[in-house]
Amino acid sequence: MTSKEKDVDDADLEQVTKDNRGENLSSTETEEDTEQSRIIIRSTVMAEGHTKVLKIVDKEASFSEALENKIQNISTGIKGMSHLVHLHLPQALNLHLLLQHLQLLRQQMELVSQRKM
């Protein structure tokens, strides 16, 4: 083996013992350990991404739940008003407004459910 071949082999060996950032690996750290570290880092980043997605879905679910509660409250109010035997004009207008509000909330719920799909 000539000195030139030996220099090339040493350079190749040095390149193998460097990680992607160009830093020398410690004598106890192997390439396999470095690859495991990279896998763990990638997994952590992916898990954090999934956590963020879950938080967004949870917020939408909370919004959806709040709308459903509002619809339920309005429905209860409408049922209570419908039991009145003698409706005066202001009460009839309130009933009409409540019905319109309920329809709007149902449309919003449909939009939210379509967004989830």
Q: Indicate the domain borders of the chain.
A: 3-116
More confident position, 72 or 111: 111
Q: What is the pLDDT of residues 78-98, one digit of tens each?
A: 666 665 555 555 666 677 777
What does the alpha-carbon distance between residue 39 and residue 35 come to, in Å, rounded to a whole number?
Answer: 6
What does the alpha-carbon distance between residue 113 and residue 95 come to, in Å, rounded to a whole number?
Answer: 27
Closest CA to 67 of 96, 108, 111: 108
pLDDT band for 4, please (50, 70, 90 cuts).
Answer: very low
Q: In this structure, what is the dihedral angle of CA atoms 34, 35, 36, 38, given to the nearest 10 degrees?
A: 90
3-class DSSP assignment, residue 1: coil
pTM of the model: 0.27
CB-based contact 77:98 (threshold 8 Å): yes
Closest CA to 74 of 52, 47, 96: 96
Q: What is the pLDDT of residues 35-79, one digit of tens each?
A: 666 666 666 666 666 556 556 556 666 767 777 777 777 777 666
